[in-house]
Amino acid sequence: MSVQDDSIDDAEEDFKSLFAFDPDFAYGEQTIHKIQKCRRRMENELFIDRLLKTLSIKESTNLYPPRSNRDLRDLHREIIESPSPDHHKQSVLYYILRDIPSDKDTEPASSFAKSVFLPEKYRIFIDGIWFLDRGKFEKALEFLTEPVLIPTFPEEIIYTLCTHPDQHDIRLPLAYYYTVMPAVTSSKVLEALFTNMAKTSVTEAFFWSRKQGASIHQKLFEQLISIVLDTPEGEDRARRSVELIYLPFEKEEERWFEAYLTDGEGRKIPRAKDALGVRGLAIGRTSATTDLYKAMEDADRGMEWSGSSFEHGLMTPPR
């Protein structure tokens, strides 16, 4: 018998042991459809796909979800023959076993974790991303914010929480970020996180942007202005606009504010002229504000910031 035959036999024996409860098990059509739908809603990459890549397994989307018992066996073989450490492979097998419907008395994933002594931190992490892949975000964070975990895929998790079409709780991305405090280096993730933060608290986003380094401070500052001034009409826009106008800009930020709304991309925002005017009134620069108004008249960029809360806000700066 060849070495290759021995390897195949080992894989078959391991599969029979792992799926002793049902060696002929196959994913149901409803489960397959649900997983594929979840993948599409996560920009075609689940966290299990990322895990399989760490095992040097290519074309994960063709392997998971397995569409038959034979496909499941092939996926299992790819995992156990990976050169990765055993606890990494066991973690992926634990994820797959979580897909299997079970009752409390016969829970394959839990039984497997106990049998191989899978470290608690790996089990907790897999539980978290399994729930994340299925769009159960609050449940996922119960696991992913555990102190025992070393942050894994933190930027990808933040981006998912900020942009997933089914994730409507703007508190969750910040809850994860402030608990884990990962370094955010991806510009895409940074923009998504900052947008979420700005929608939650203009003031918080403003002071956070100052801590991100000179190279991106201005970009985030301008992004904050755009987010606030593009808020849909209503009481919330009035409140957020007043909050922006009364922020304690430094001299450089003051210059950025004026430049962005007069010569930069912000000049296209319909409320640019009013923002400049009210900011001038707020800091007592009426003459300079008049000059800016005259310079922008021909562009017709002004609009009314209607709403009693805005008018009241001009007289009563936020505390």
Please classify residue 82 by burial: count the beta carbons closer than 10 Å to its beta carbon, then call 0-12 exposed, 13-18 middle and 19+ buried. middle
* Residue 35 token pair: 């997983």
What pLDDT score does 316 carry?
Answer: 45
* Half-sphere exposure for 95 (CA within 13 Å, toward CB): 29
CB 304 within 8 A of CB 282: no
- Specify the 3-state DSSP secondary structure of 106: strand
* Half-sphere exposure for 74 (CA within 13 Å, toward CB): 14
pLDDT digits (tens, 9 = 90+) for 214-241: 889 999 999 999 999 998 887 788 899 9
pLDDT digits (tens, 9 = 90+) for 123-170: 999 999 999 999 999 999 999 999 999 999 999 999 999 999 999 898
**Partners of residue 309 on adjacent β-strands:** none
**Partners of residue 106 on adjacent β-strands:** 103
Between CA 211 and CA 197 the distance in angstroms is 14
* Half-sphere exposure for 99 (CA within 13 Å, toward CB): 23
Lookup result for tokens 């991309």: 265
CB 79 within 8 A of CB 93: yes
What pLDDT score does 282 carry?
Answer: 82
Q: pTM here? A: 0.85
What pLDDT score does 103 carry?
Answer: 65
User: Tens-digit pLDDT profile for the chain (319 aa)?
Assistant: 333 444 557 888 999 999 998 999 999 999 999 999 999 999 999 999 999 999 999 888 899 999 999 999 999 999 999 999 999 999 999 999 999 987 645 589 999 999 999 999 999 999 999 999 999 999 999 999 999 999 999 999 999 999 999 998 989 999 999 999 999 999 999 999 999 999 999 999 999 999 998 889 999 999 999 999 998 887 788 899 999 999 999 999 999 999 999 999 999 998 888 899 889 888 876 554 445 555 445 444 444 444 443 444 443 455 4
What pLDDT score does 140 carry?
Answer: 97
What pLDDT score does 237 carry?
Answer: 86
CB 76 within 8 A of CB 14: yes
**Cα 237-240-243 angle, rounded to 5 deg:** 150
Helix, strand, coil content of the chain in percent (nearest 5): 65, 0, 30
What pLDDT score does 194 carry?
Answer: 97
What pLDDT score does 283 carry?
Answer: 83
